[in-house]
Chain A
Amino acid sequence: MRAACCAGPANTSAGPDAAVVAIVGAPNTGKSTLFNSLTGAKVTMGNWPGTTVEVSHGRWQLGDQAVTVIDLPGAYSLDPQSPDEQLTHDLLLDPDPRERPDLTIVLADASRLAHSLYLISQIREHRINFVVALTMGDIAAKRGIEIDVDALATAIGAPVVPTNPRHRTGLKDLAATASSSLTLGHPLFAPSADARRSLDSQPSAENDGKKGDGHTSVKDGKGDACCCVSEANAEERFAWIARTVAATTNAPQGYRQSFSDKVDRVVTAPVVGPLIFLGVMWVVFQITTAVAAPLQDWLDQLFSGPLSDWTRDGLGAIGMGGTWLEGLLVDGLIAGVGALLTFVPLMALMFILLALLEDSGYLGRAALVADRMMRVLGLPGKAFLPFIVGFGCNVPGVAATRILPDAAQRILTCLLVPFTACTARLTVFVMIGTTFFGAWAGTAVFVMYLISIHLIIGMGWLLRKWLWPNLVEDPLVLDLPPYQIPTLRITASVAWLRLKGFLQTASGIIVVTVCAVWLLQSIPADGKSGFGAVEVGDSAYGVAAKAITPVFEPTGFASWETTSAAIVGFVAKEAVISSWAQTYALAEPESDTEPGSLGARILTDFTKSSGGHPIPAALAFMVFLLAYTPCVATLAAQVREIGLKWTLFGVALQLVTAWLLAVAFFQVGRLIA
């Protein structure tokens, strides 16, 4: 090779008659670092003649001999998939010997030896004069990988020189080996018998001119014979790679477990894995409810005490005391939105704990556990993703069904996503949990998540058997991210992103809902009282709620204050709390300044409506909240994804399921109690 590569200025190449050494290797194997170490600052960059591929070339002094070094673009193999790889392919396998480099230095990453060996397996099939520079030895050593260099050289059939361009070690050995190879002028070893067999059986450049070993036909679909030869060659090469790795590294026999693998064996095991996942989630709920409770009480006192008093005093000072404005601000916005904002510390803590689990890589393993469960029940494997997303928020959960390739799978999964216990429901679960279950609040919330999982599985199984008995699942493999120590930046960033979403809901749709509820509570149903001067039970809101309440008699929570909150919950689940707060603030204004009084009033109501069985009634209400339509935003997302017909079917399914489950929980619970 004498012409094209030496087109640079004289000081960056060794002249037109000098030998040419090409450096090739996969991206990120240290190719350019080696090139810079060999050539120093004397480097020229430019497009290779007739191409748009940028190539660096420089001068390397090998004792008395100066050679031109070309840094070819990164190439994983000699089967070109890009112009960069095409250039490497053409230069190494070009039929014109004058165009070939006199010597090729192939880089192999010692920390990922198997990855580097495919290119080497192809190069050794040709009469190419090459030397292997084994880089990344320091990283390999850190990972406990040891490579027998002599055995590797024997297996490859070419000299192997351990080199660390970053620390400039091994460069002299590389120079000596390169010098010997250049003097010899041909490969130190002839291509081995198995390598020649591959060469003889393929339509390579040496045999047919330009087409390499025809691997591109896998993609372009041209020529089945070519494709089969290519696949057979790839299989032969990988068989050689497997033998070489086994013979030359310190882990020759079978599957060697890393720390991550050992952890994965436990946390993703079919039986133990789900139990560990449930245990982890139980701890998360326990920590959340126990640690955040004092902060929640403090905020409750702030909203129901000083903040309400200051607002009343302020309005009184400007002559608006006792007017509709005081009702809207104090009994509406402060009572309603304030009740929701008391959950900010709880949600923040929950989001931080979940972000820690995510950033460590554990939640990816939980996805694996969920995926296994989906497949056991015959649901599409990929469906686990929308469900896991749905546990954060049902709206992106519904949108995530787009990843499913089959329409039936999308509809089925869309119908099931609303049964996932989203974080909006979590606020209501925690409130009811702390009111009715005291120290067991965390466990009560955890049980709701368990019921949610079982509901998805059960409903999924039923719907599939009923509507899509021939649904086919697509096998897939999960590419799990490695475990890592969570970082403060990412944990804080993820937690804040979600907390911001919660605050946006509280300050957006909940404020509007609170105003709408206040308006309905101010309008007299009989038309006799004035606006804002009506008893809340006689308002349009109260009368409508009382009309629906009898439907819930068998569930144990048939009080109009609760059923009206559940109806408002159609808008957003957080609105259940704000509606309760508004209703009780108006119904019993004398007690709304007592901290924790909202919980006490709900407990009294449930005790009354359940005939003295408040615990089963509370459980029934939690299950009802879990199973019925999550929010209008989810409905809108469903209409967008699966159309109005299936969305309405889903709403009917959710309401019937929610009511039946609530009745079952209350009636059975009452009997047990």
Chain B
Amino acid sequence: MNPLTIVLDGVRDGRHTLAEMAQASNSPLSVLEAARDHLLYTGQLVRSPLCPPTSCGGCPLSRTGCRPGLATLQLATQTS
């Protein structure tokens, strides 16, 4: 199956991670990562960092020191 289709279907079907999609479709993860980045680039997927709007230091997901944290990917149609 086409990598773009695998990623879009994976998001629609509720797969949790790209690794899950790669495993289920037996595709190289690097190609699916490239497909994900293409979908983000063209605006078909939206990436949202998961940091709370306010912080009192109680959030175990927020990070200091500019390290990448957890983020979600959603279909662009869901966020509009």
Q: What residues make up the interface of A, taking CB atoms closer than 8 Å to B?
A: 76-77, 79, 81, 112-115, 117-118, 215, 218-219, 234-235, 238-239, 241-242, 245-246, 249, 251, 253-256, 258, 261, 264, 268, 354, 357-359, 363-364, 367-368, 371-372, 375, 381-382, 385-386, 388-389, 391-393, 395-397, 399-400, 402-403, 405, 422-423, 474-481, 484, 487, 489-490, 493-494, 497-498, 500-501
Contacts and interface: CB of A to CB of B under 8 A. Distances in A.
Given A242-B3, A254-B26, A358-B61, A215 B42 contact: yes
Contacts of B31: 114, 238, 241-242, 245
Contacts of B15: 477
A242 B64 CA distance: 37
A494 B64 CA distance: 7
B45 to A, nearest CB: 8
Interface string B19-56: 10111011111110111011001111001101011111
Contact of B58 (A114, A389, A476): A389
Given A238-B3, A245-B30, A396 B48 contact: no
A646 B5 CA distance: 42
B52 A385 contact: yes
B43 to A, nearest CB: 5
Interface string B47-77: 1101011111111110111011111111100
Interface residues of B, number: 60
B42 A478 contact: no
Is the contact region of chain A dominated by helix, strand, or loop, or is it mixed? Answer: helix
13 contacts: A114-B31, A115-B34, A239-B3, A246-B28, A249-B28, A255-B27, A358-B61, A363-B60, A364-B70, A385-B50, A396-B55, A475-B75, A490-B63
Nearest to B67: A490
Contacts of B65: 487, 489-490, 493
Contacts of A396: 52, 54-56, 58-59
Contacts of B67: 359, 481, 484, 490
Contacts of A253: 26
Contacts of A114: 28, 30-31, 33-34
Contacts of A255: 19, 22-23, 25-29
Given A81-B41, A396-B55, 12 more contacts: A118-B38, A235-B5, A268-B17, A357-B60, A364-B70, A385-B50, A389-B61, A392-B59, A423-B58, A479-B70, A498-B57, A498-B58
Contacts of B78: 405, 474-476
A386 B75 CA distance: 21
B46 to A, nearest CB: 10
B3 A241 contact: yes
Contact of A238 (B26, B35, B43, B44): B35
Contact of A477 (B18, B29, B69): B18
Which of B5, B27, B30 has the largest count of A CB atoms less than 10 A from its CB? B30
Contacts of B37: 76, 115
Nearest to B44: A218
A453 to B, nearest CB: 15
Nearest to B18: A477
Contact of A118 (B13, B21, B34, B64): B34
A217 to B, nearest CB: 10
A235 B19 contact: no
Which of A261, A357, A480 has the largest count of B CB atoms less than 10 A from its CB? A480
A242 B3 CA distance: 7
Given A238-B4, A388-B60, A476-B11, A367 B54 contact: no
B28 A238 contact: no
A426 to B, nearest CB: 12
A477 B30 CA distance: 16
A405 B43 CA distance: 18
A224 B53 CA distance: 37
A500 B58 CA distance: 11
Contacts of A399: 52-54
Contacts of A367: 50, 61, 70
B57 A480 contact: no
A469 B20 CA distance: 30
B61 A388 contact: yes
A393 B58 contact: yes
Contacts of A218: 42-44
B2 A238 contact: yes
Contacts of A479: 17-18, 47, 70-73
B11 A500 contact: no
A302 to B, nearest CB: 27
